[in-house]
Amino acid sequence: MKRTLLYIVSGLLIVIALLYAMSFHSKPEAITYGVSYSKLHADELGLNWKEAYQAILNDLRVMHLRLSAHWPMIEPEVGQFHFEEMDYQMNEARVRGADVILAVGLRIPGWPECHTPSWLLNETTQKIRERQLLYIEAVVERYKGYSNLKYWQVENEAFLNFATQYCGKGDEEFLQKEIALVRSLDPTHKIMVTDSGEFGKWYKAWRNGDVFGTSVYLYIWHHIWGPLRYPIGPGFFGFKLNVMEWFFKEKPSLLSELGAEPWLTSPIRDAAIEAQLERMDINKFNEVIAFGKKTPFDTQYLWGAEWWYYMTQNNHPEFWTRARELYSSGK
């Protein structure tokens, strides 16, 4: 009995030691910071979306952007493609020499994750997918020749099933069709596929893209437990990255979404400023940035710039001021 117990304890210690060792991944010497920007999110916050975007480019001087070609914005009516807003974003970035990761698909950044045009809401899945491929084709043909296009992002965290009431479960076969379409139209640019940092299994996203992107959120609001901070450390992401690199071929990887705005149960604009600050004050904001620095990713795109700008209009410029410092010095 004692010998059996000794074997069990020894085995557990070996497993713990291996997991601990696997969590190590060299931290980057320097980090390249980018930001996600969404006209949809700016509209939700009641902002002048062009003014907010110009501030990101001219005041924060962000040189690396992740933009979203939301389907309802691109095709507000069946067969009627509207590129004015997306052209503006791409052109303004290009003039300043800022590169762009451009997200296309049904599920791209911004809650409730899936963005279906209103004219398709009552259609079958097959009909939606047929139209989805036509929309993707239109976007890729429009922007593939832009000198500042860095990567395409196809869908966003497609295998994270938290949003199944809006999106259904992730369909790897259809994702592959989307990726194949983008590759056939634009063989020049690499394709990024993303997964959740905390709950994603990563391997499906890893094996389907040329570039892998993951999210990191520290402070969330769980539907059962309420507001909480994930009880994980940066080594958790080093461990997952090691597993992917050991079992699959290495590939470029980046932190595509570092959550730096409050996670609430209602739209941000509907919440009191005090409630927003309870979920994301400047100390938590700095904690998020410091946490990101300890992960193995040398390229990190923050999420929340529209909110930082919104807060400057509500007598809380500290987030914008800190972001300006981050983008000017990388510290």
Structure confidence at residue 247 (pLDDT): 94
> Among 215, 225, 212, 267, which Cα is nearest to 42's?
267
331 versus 317: the higher-pLDDT residue is: 317
Q: How many CB atoms lie within 10 A of CB 91?
A: 12
How big is the CA angle at 147 (ends 143 and 151), to the nearest 5 degrees? 65
288 versus 226: the higher-pLDDT residue is: 288
Residue 224: which pLDDT band, with cuts at 50, 70 and 90?
confident
DSSP string, 272-322: -HHHHHHHS-HHHHHHHHHHHHTSS-SEEEEE-HHHHHHHHTTT-THHHHH
pLDDT digits (tens, 9 = 90+) for 120-132: 999 999 999 999 9
The pTM (predicted TM-score) of the whole model is 0.92
DSSP H or E run through 66 = strand 64-68
Give the C-alpha distances (Å, rounded to integers) separating 16 from 19, 27, 112.
5, 22, 38
CA atoms within a 13 Å half-sphere pointing along the CA-CB vector of 141: 9
Q: How many CB atoms lie within 10 A of CB 141?
A: 11
213 versus 5: the higher-pLDDT residue is: 213
Please report the domains of the chain, with CATH numbers, ordered by start residue.
Answer: 34-326 (3.20.20.80)
Mean pLDDT of 179-206: 97
Q: What distance in Å separates the CA atoms of residue 99 and residue 96, rounded to the nearest whole number? A: 9
Residue 16: which pLDDT band, with cuts at 50, 70 and 90?
very low
> Looking at the predicted structure, is the pLDDT value of residue 245 above 80?
yes
Residue 225: which pLDDT band, with cuts at 50, 70 and 90?
confident
Helix and strand numbers, DSSP H then E, in the chain: 14, 10
Q: What distance in Å separates the CA atoms of residue 67 and residue 201, rounded to the nearest whole number? A: 25
> Looking at the predicted structure, is the pLDDT value of residue 25 above 90?
no
pLDDT digits (tens, 9 = 90+) for 304-327: 999 999 999 999 999 999 999 999
pLDDT digits (tens, 9 = 90+) for 47-92: 999 999 999 999 999 999 999 999 999 999 999 999 999 999 999 9
